[in-house]
Amino acid sequence: MEHQSHQMNMDKMNHIKMHHGTGQSMDMAGHDHHAMMIADFKKRFYVVLLLTIPVMLLSMQIQQWLHLDISFRGSAYLLFVLASVVFFYGGWPFLTGWLSETKAKNPGMMTLIGFAISVAYAYSAATVFGLKGMDFFWELDTLILIMLLGHWIEMRSVAGASKELELLVQLMPDEAHMVMPDMVHDVTTDTLKENDIILVKPGEKVAADGIILEGKSYLNESMLTGESRPVQKMKGDKVIAGSINGNGSFQVTVSHAAKDSYLSQVVKLVEDAQNSKSKTQLLADTAAKWLTIIALVTGITTFLYWYLTGQTLAFAMERMVTVIVICCPHALGLAVPLVVAKSTALSAKHGLLIKNRTAFENARKITTVVFDKTGTLTVGKFEVSKIVPLQKELDERELIRLASSLEQNSEHPIATGILQKVKDLKITIPMAENFKAITGQGVEATVGGQKIMVVSPGYLKENKLTIPDGFTADDTETVVFVIIGKELAGYIALSDEVRPESAEAVKTLKQENIKSILLTGDNSKVAASVSKTLGMDSFIAEVLPHQKLEKIKELQSKGEFVAMTGDGVNDAPALAQADIGIAVGSGSDIAAETAGIVLVNSNPKDIVSLILFGKATYRKMIQNLAWATGYNVIALPLAAGVLYNQGIALSPAAGAVLMTVSTVVVAINASLLKVKA
């Protein structure tokens, strides 16, 4: 079963990589298969739970403990029939899992459970039909019950984590305006099919992937593609479901049904990341594998020892089954899934979206956190602090008026600041044509027949334009230059306030011996000022998106385990290069596939919470693994009968109780996990 589900995950990932076309419908099938497996384990669990009460009451051992006497003609046979249903129906996933593990020559938990329940069943059945000894039917029943519960919880935790994501990706509108020959009719989004035509009005969300049939508008696709600027779309252009329309209205020819949309693909992608086994889960599997081998070898050795030294077959069998039952890795099976379930639910509640389990668990190894400045350490709200024209015929109002025409299509914090100032000055914004973004350096467009550019200081350097005499900006100001034609026309300085939580976040990182480094495209003065104010270890300024990647590599070559935080747009290459990519900001990043973790709020304290929570989660997993395997060190020799001559021998029942107690301890320990906010 484990093997099959792992294979299923691999298949799903491959389908998703195909992204569009046939891969999607196949992926949906994989998704449904997962849901069916959850439902199957749930059903088996409840059936076994129902049968547990009569099985327990009819068991001699339980009757002795409770001083009951429930025996009637054929009661032993009734118990046998009920236990047989539990064994074959409840144990079926484990028996088939044992078979597939044997085929794959990879013995693990399924082998041990399969073997233990088969031996217990065969021996107990023999006692019903004449063999001297006490049956283990109730142990068999509870064994299967707890294992079914464990698997059900594990699968639910994976599916539940994805549901948390889906809540955050509720971008898909419920309704669409379908264009009919004679009228526009409102329909539910999930009824849309290929070649339907829908109307998208200003400010609405696009209801389906498709191609614009008529009309044009600017679309904000930041939630989906990570591109922060609204993109102009006109006839023949593709649009993505979930993107937000600007001021125009247009008609779209639908490409495919909602369930196959790009947005659904993103949800699936995250789902698969949740599904992928992390290193700790693999550690649990390895521990289970060794425990299996130890249990089987010890069990058989125990049986042979007692049987060959003259004990009865019943006694030797009892010792063997006790050893195997005690060794059965219930607690081990739950050790990691329970922590995963708890940590994923808690993370989602605290705005930490874990897309990659391994990245999350590796948070404990982080030695350096590289912060992108704007919107992470700073509020990201730029306010214009000065407007300086450098040409005689220009005044401040004209300079900011021209700049605002380029910035009206941008979501960037600098653009927002300029537009706010224009609004305050009650200036009418002119139309811009031929709008183009210069990656990481600015924007250009034509305004009133003139080519206008709004660029960063880095652009001036790269294009060998001289920074004007008398240029002053204080250390905390970010400056953009306005170029008209090829002439430098002036500059606008904006300042951004440092977030109040930033200093605290940096201080906590210091206490944890984690270095904090500022990495920004902004000028050195601003970077130095922010870095100094926050008490950071160092800063790297005036870097372009592709250079950010190089800087991360440099840090890694010095042996640092680097977490990079960024907004998932120009930081994508660096996020991918970092050991752990953390996409920050509620928007551009849900689809930032390059990041292993997404922080829904742009709060730097969340990064610290994430690291501490990663450490706490890992500690819990290791504690659980240690407990789940450690108790065997004492219990196993006792089960084998090492102290039998001193009058101490664990019965299979006591073995099962010990095993159940260890499972409860693991469950309680997992539930104590908390996020330190």
Q: How many residues does the chain have?
A: 677
Q: How does pLDDT run across 608-635, given as a tens digit for each residue?
A: 888 888 888 888 888 888 887 777 777 8
31 pLDDT above the threshold of 60: no
Going by pLDDT thresholds of 50, 70 and 90, the confidence category of residue 228 is: very low
Q: Which residues contact 524 (CB under 8 A, 6 or more apart)?
A: 539, 541, 542
Q: How does pLDDT run across 157-174, given as a tens digit for each residue?
A: 555 544 545 544 566 677
Cβ proximity of 268 and 31 under 8 Å: yes
Cβ proximity of 637 and 629 under 8 Å: no
Going by pLDDT thresholds of 50, 70 and 90, the confidence category of residue 3 is: very low
CA distance 390 to 453: 15
More confident site: 49 or 74: 49
Residue 589 has a pLDDT of 40
Residue 96 has a pLDDT of 92
Residue 349 has a pLDDT of 67
pTM over cut 0.85: no
Residue 222 has a pLDDT of 60
Q: What number is the average pLDDT over the span 55-77?
A: 75
Hey, which residues are catalytic here?
372
CA 592 to chain centre: 12
Query: Among 441, 517, 452, which residue's Cα sits nearest to residue 484?
Result: 452
3-state secondary structure 212-253: EEEECEEEECHHHHCCCCCEEECCCCEECCCCEECCCCEEEE
Handedness of CA 15, 16, 20, 26 (dihedral sign): positive
Cβ proximity of 299 and 324 under 8 Å: yes
Q: What number is the average pLDDT over the span 352-381?
A: 79
DSSP H or E run through 54: helix 22-58
Going by pLDDT thresholds of 50, 70 and 90, the confidence category of residue 560 is: very high
CA 364 to chain centre: 16
| Beta strand segments in 57-190, E | 175-179, 184-188
Q: In what order do the strands lie in the sheet with 238-239?
A: 184-188, 175-179, 197-200, 250-254, 210-215, 238-239
Going by pLDDT thresholds of 50, 70 and 90, the confidence category of residue 556 is: very high
Going by pLDDT thresholds of 50, 70 and 90, the confidence category of residue 208 is: confident
Residue 212 has a pLDDT of 92
Going by pLDDT thresholds of 50, 70 and 90, the confidence category of residue 123 is: confident
**Identity of the amino acid at 638:** L
Q: What number is the average pLDDT over the span 444-454?
A: 87
**Structural domains present in the chain:** 175-260 (2.70.150.10), 291-346+610-677 (no CATH), 347-377+498-609 (3.40.50.1000), 378-497 (3.40.1110.10)
